[in-house]
A = this chain, B = another copy of it.
Amino acid sequence: MTALALYNGLPTQTVPSTNRAVAYGDGLFETIKVETGRAQFLPLHLRRLIRDCARLDIALDEIALRSEIAQLLSQRESGVLKIIVMRESFARGYFAPPHSPSARLLQFFPQVFVDDERSHLGVAVRLCRQQLSEQPSLAGIKHLNRLEQVLARSEWSETAIAEGFMFDRAGRLIEGTMSNVFLVRANKLYTPRLHRCGVAGVMREIILTRLAPELIPAIETDLLPIDIAQADDVFICNSLIGIWPVRKIECLQKTVGDVTLALQQKLTQLIADEAR
């Protein structure tokens, strides 16, 4: 994996090893689709980044960031722009001064976006065993502590499965490993509330505030597996894929197993013996 990268405006393939992103995942990121040099929905991405930097009390040089984005995208290529904002290193240990300055790592991964049949035909998803922990202090933020997603994504390697749905420890549907989830039922649109955990994606916000209002009532609420089962439509979304219909959710059909059969037979026998 190679990427064109700028660290605080300077071309580089490395970051300082004392960086707090390396040590603690102390930072945030944005993943933005770029078509011929144009970053899609850039104002929304920057607004979220600025808001979430404030939540983590990280100072961000917005002017430098905007100038670096322009610099990195000047080749007018298509691909993925990833912005990582990292709290600057201080002394060894967790403490950092209030409103600490941050370093900016911008990476550009060239990619040609073709009409993706998954956006028409839909995708298959699985249900992840790895659960999300509840942490209101971090809920909604696209921060760099992503081990839960890494563990969830390690549960499958079949390329036929596009995404995995993740639940919190109370069994509520929260999101996909790299997407947000929406359900349609009886002409209403539902998506999980993200005040306990999950990432509040920019595409999710676009759907809730820009696309749905003239089409269908949209509701943020708690959703359970039964709500997935009873949904008319299901789709996932993020800034790179846009909206992908979900065609198939990991199947729960079973056959009659040998152990069940053997136990049934033994129970029948036991009941017969007891009745004698």
* Chain A contacts with B in 78-116, Cβ cutoff 8 A: 80, 82, 84, 86-87, 89-98, 105, 107, 109
Interface of A is mostly: loop
Return chain B residues, CB-CB under 8 Å to A153.
Answer: 93-96
**Is A272 an interface position by the 8 A CB rule?**
no
Do residues B137 and A134 form an inter-chain contact, with CB atoms below 8 A? no
* A23 close to chain B: CB less than 8 A: yes
CB of A130 within 8 A of chain B? yes
Is A16 within 8 A of B13, CB to CB? Answer: yes
The answer to whether the Cβ of A5 comes within 8 Å of any Cβ in the partner chain is yes
Q: Cα distance A177–B96 when bound, in Å?
A: 13
Max chain B Cβ within 10 angstroms of own Cβ: one of A29, A91, A95, A197: A95
Give how many A residues have a beta carbon under 8 Å from the other chain's beta carbons.
Answer: 65
- A150-B145 Cα distance, complex, nearest whole Å: 12
A130 to chain B, nearest CB (A): 6
Query: A112 to B146, alpha carbons, bound, how many Å?
Result: 36
A24 and B144 in contact, given A14-B17, A95-B157, A157-B97 (Cβ under 8 angstroms): yes
Give Cα A107 to B131, complex, Å: 33
- When distances are taken between beta carbons in the complex, the residues of chain B under 8 Å from A7 are 17
Q: B1, B133, B151, B157: which contacts A134 (Cβ < 8 A)?
A: B133
Cα–Cα distance between A133 and B147 once the two chains are bound (Å): 13
> Which are the 7 A-B pairs with shortest beta-carbon distances?
A25-B25, A14-B14, A133-B133, A145-B145, A24-B146, A94-B153, A133-B135
- Whether, in the assembled complex, A175 has its beta carbon less than 8 Å from a beta carbon of chain B, the answer is no
A149 at the interface (CB under 8 A from B): yes
Interface assignment of A56: CB less than 8 Å from any CB of chain B: yes
Question: Can you list 21 A-B contacts with CB-CB less than 8 angstroms, sorted by A residue number?
Answer: A1-B90, A1-B92, A2-B18, A21-B21, A21-B22, A22-B105, A22-B144, A23-B84, A23-B146, A24-B25, A87-B150, A92-B109, A95-B153, A96-B150, A133-B133, A134-B169, A138-B147, A138-B148, A138-B151, A145-B145, A145-B146
**0/1 interface trace, chain A 27-40, chain B, CB 8 Å (1 if under):** 00100000000000
